[in-house]
Amino acid sequence: MLDWFDSNEALIQSALALSILGFSVQLALRAGVFSLAGVGFWAIGGYSVANLVGDGWSTPLAIAVTVGATLLPALGLALILRRLRALYLAMATFAFVLIVQIVALNWDSVTGGPVGLFAIPVTVSTLGLLLVVIACAIGLFFWERGRHGRVMESLREDEQLAASLGVDVPRERVKVFVVSAGLGTLSGSLNALMFNTLTADQAGFGLITTVLMVIVLGGTRAWWGPLVGAFIVTWLPEVLRFAEDYREVIQGAIVLLVVVYAPGGVVGAVRALRRLVRQPPRRLLAFNSGVKEAAE
């Protein structure tokens, strides 16, 4: 068992770090805030901690300060974009991510330009990463529960209704945006201090599509969706190794099929199974109650 962990440690680390980015996007999407800005903050977080730790800062302090400091620009961005919805918001955050990438490509002194940063001190252990992921998971578990969970649900499904029920919609959306950005920063910070390199091409279109795949395959309707999704996405190239050159094709096909035919991802599939086991199909129930009514 331990051998498996050892030989797959890098993959496990990748998956765990990716899952935090997955949490970032899932949290936003679930509240109806179509923000991919977390990916941009992933890059900002990575470069920031790399520089701080390189200057001698302690890791926990570097991460804490980075996450804290980026909350302010995240708030600014949220306020600037607050009137945008759905695809327009997605595009704006998409553009933000790519602008960050361009800055990264050009700001040589901080980011190493196109060459990137190498030999970043490795100061995050797998255990540390795991603890952070668990903390995030617990946070998300409570985030989507009870009163707060219901409010988030109403934000996504029916904003007008939410407003008429007393939900301060603009404020909640900004809050979601900022928390999502913070998780992105966290993910990028941990990633940089774990894998000791960071190049600008890691944080663009490719990462956006990767995290979207994490969300789709894992499912958005539960806190554990991004976790499962991150592991699937990280392991998929391994599993598909036999396909060699057709790996991308199969990956794309899987995403397509899941989105069209199993839109809930793994979360959706598990829940559908549970419901099937618990309740007989609705049509049967309705037939029964119809018969009952006619008999009365």
Partner 1 sequence: MTLLQLENVKVWFGGVRAVDGVDMRLEEGKLYGIIGPNGSGKTTLINAISRLTHVTAGRISYRGSDVTNAPPHLVARAGMARTFQSIRLLDHLTVRENVLLGTDRLGDHGGGSRRAALAAAADAADAAIERLGLQSLAGQYPDSLAYGTQRRVEIARAIASGAKLLLLDEPIAGMSRTERDEVADVLRALRADGLTQVLIEHDLRMVLRTCDFVYVLNLGRNLAQGLPAETVSLPEVQEAYLGRTHAGA
Partner 2 sequence: MSQHLLDAIVLGSIYTLFALGLTLSWGVLNVLNLAHGAIFIAGGLTAYVITKDSALSLWVVLPAAMVVSGLLAVALEVVAYRPLRKRVGDVHAAELPMLIASVGAAFMLTGIGTRITGNQPVGIPDGVFDVSSHEIAGLRVTNLEVLIIVVALALSIGLAMFVRRSRHGRALRALAHDPYTCGLLGISPERMAIATMFVSGALAGTAGVLLTMQQSAIEAHSWEPLLLKGFAIIVLGGVGSVWGAIIAAYLLAVAEIGTVVYVSGSLRDGVAFALILVLLLFRPQGLFTRAAWQRS
Applying CB under 8 A, which of residues 161, 205, 239, 289 lies at the interface with partner 2? 205
Pair of tokens at residue 143: 């985030």
Pattern 198-227, binding to partner 1, x per CB under 8 A?
Answer: -----------------------x------
Matching residue, tokens 């998409």 = 94
- Considering the complex, what minimum distance in angstroms separates the CB of residue 160 from partner 1? 6
What does the angle CA 188 – CA 193 – CA 198 come to, to the nearest 5 degrees? Answer: 65
Please give the Cα distance from 117 to 203 (Å, whole number). 13
Look at residue 168 and give the partner it binds from partner 1, partner 2, none, a contact being a CB closer than 5 to 8 Å depending on partner kind. partner 1
Give the one residue of 96, 143, 177, 223 binding partner 2; rule: CB under 8 A: 96
Contact 157, 181 (CB under 8 A): no
In angstroms, the Cα distances linking 205 to 19, 102, 181, 278 are 18, 12, 17, 42
| Rounded-to-integer distance, Cα 106 and Cα 93, Å | 20
Q: Which is nearer to partner 1, 221 or 247 (CB)?
A: 221
- Position 58 contacts partner 1 (CB under 8 A): no
Q: Does the protein bind partner 1 through residue 150 (CB under 8 A)?
A: yes
**Candidate list 54, 60, 86, 157; residue touching partner 1; CB under 8 A:** 157
Selected range binding partner 2 among 52-60, 102-110, 173-181, 183-191, rule: CB under 8 A:
102-110
Nearest CA-CA partner of 38 in 200, 180, 227: 180
Q: Which one among 151, 254, 255, 259 touches partner 1, defined by CB under 8 A?
A: 151
- What 3-state DSSP class applies to 207? helix
Among 91, 141, 142, 158, contact with partner 1 (rule: CB under 8 A): 158
- Is residue 18 a contact partner of residue 227, using CB atoms and an 8 Å limit? no
91 part of the interface to partner 2, by CB under 8 A: yes
Tell me the two tokens of residue 67: 């996450």
Cα torsion through 159, 162, 163, 164, rounded to 10: 120
Dist CA 88 CA 86 (whole Å): 6
Binding mask 160-199 for partner 1 (x = CB under 8 A): xx-xxxxxxx------------------------------
| Beta-bridge mates of residue 117 | 198
Give me the residues that bind partner 2 (CB under 8 A), please. Answer: 29, 34, 80-81, 83-88, 90-92, 94-96, 98-99, 102, 105-106, 205, 209, 212-213, 215-216, 245-257, 259-260, 263
